[in-house]
Amino acid sequence: MAMDSSSTKPAIAHDISPYLIEYLDGTIERQGTERVPPGFDPRTRVTSKDIVITPETGVSARIYRPTVTSTANKKLPLVLYLHGGAFVIASPALPYYHNFCNSLVGSTNAVLVSVDYRRAPEHPLPAAFDDTWAAIQWVAAHAAGDGPEGWLNEEVVDYNRLFLAGDSAGATMVHHITSQIGGSGLDKRVSIEGIILIHPYFWGRDPVGSESTDPRREMVDRWWLYVCPSDKGCDDPLINPFADGCPGVDQVICERMLVLVADNDVLKDRGRLYYDAISKKREKGKVEFYVTQGKDHVFHIFDPGCDEAIELRRKLGGIQNRNIYY
């Protein structure tokens, strides 16, 4: 076996830094594998637990619920959350995401389901997309009050106030879910009140805006071609919402939408392009675009205490409380 001259490790097959390194012998070094257990969080007074969604694939989720579950007999909104990680790293149990979900649930008084979808390269795309579609079907199965998970069958959940939210790769999958609901029958069981795309991971072969001069463009190309080595490359409909074969923005079914980008993020112009296209299809006041100045991709996960992250969570709480504008 070929070996690196500087170490005893096998030679590198794929270097997808900073996320993952795959060696020729098939072993993988992956970032973002730390895990914290569910349970009661005294800081936010939120309780969480892990459950299995699809036994056949092992897909699971971490469910969060606030201590104060209802007020004046008012049911709580339900959030289906899809974490980021370029389809190769992270999970709901990663401390960054676990803490974010606790904070979000504690500040918005919502019930939240964070999906642990399968990751590449062990499970090549579209496995993650299939898993998130299975997750929304699983959630919808509780709308009649007889689903398998008791926390979601309780009277506190309002299935007419379902929100789909995600950051980075998770936001990409939120777009695909909401564009497939029409005609699937799910729209007869649940009502998607809003979708929230945080720093969506959209891409494409031809540069948009400042991408043409951004040195990070080659890196993003490399990441995507690793997780989805299709003949369509960076114009695969899984990553480019304007590519042939991708569900169009006019097929996205929801009452309201919030698209957030970060000013220093290489993906920011893709988020703006998406917002511009979808806002032409919707009534004024139904979609909002928000730019966080001076911050980079998913800063709110890595620096949750900064003023900008607090403001971002306030934005998320605003759309859930039917107050999209401030």
Residue 41 has pLDDT above 70, yes or no: yes
Reported as a single tens digit per residue, the pLDDT across 246-264 is 877 778 878 889 999 999 9
Length of the chain: 326
Q: What is the mean pLDDT of the chain?
A: 90
Active site residues: 168, 265, 297
* pTM for the predicted model, two decimal places: 0.93
pLDDT at 208: 95
Q: How far is CA 76 from CA 93, 101, 114, 174, in A?
A: 23, 16, 16, 21
Helices (H), the chain: 95-108, 127-140, 150-153, 169-180, 217-227, 268-279, 299-302, 307-320
Distance CA 188, CA 67 (A): 30
Give the gyration radius of the chain's Cα atoms: 19
> How many beta carbons lie within 10 A of that of residue 281, not counting itself?
13
- Fold entry, domain 32-320: Rossmann fold (3.40.50)
Apex 38 CA angle, 192 and 156, nearest 5: 40
The DSSP code sequence of 205-245 is: SS--GGGGG-TTHHHHHHHHHHH---TTGGG-TTT-TTSTT
Q: Is the pLDDT of residue 1 over 50?
A: no
The conformation of residue 121, written as its DSSP 8-state character, comes to T
What does the pLDDT look like over 139-186, one tens digit per residue? 999 988 888 998 998 778 889 889 999 999 999 999 999 988 877 888
Q: Domain ranges in the chain?
A: 32-320
What is the reported pLDDT for 323? 45
Contact criterion met (CB below 8 Å) for 63 and 110: no
Give the count of beta carbons closer than 10 Å to the beta carbon of residue 279. Answer: 17
Which range, of 203-207, 277-281, 318-322, averages the lowest pLDDT? Answer: 318-322
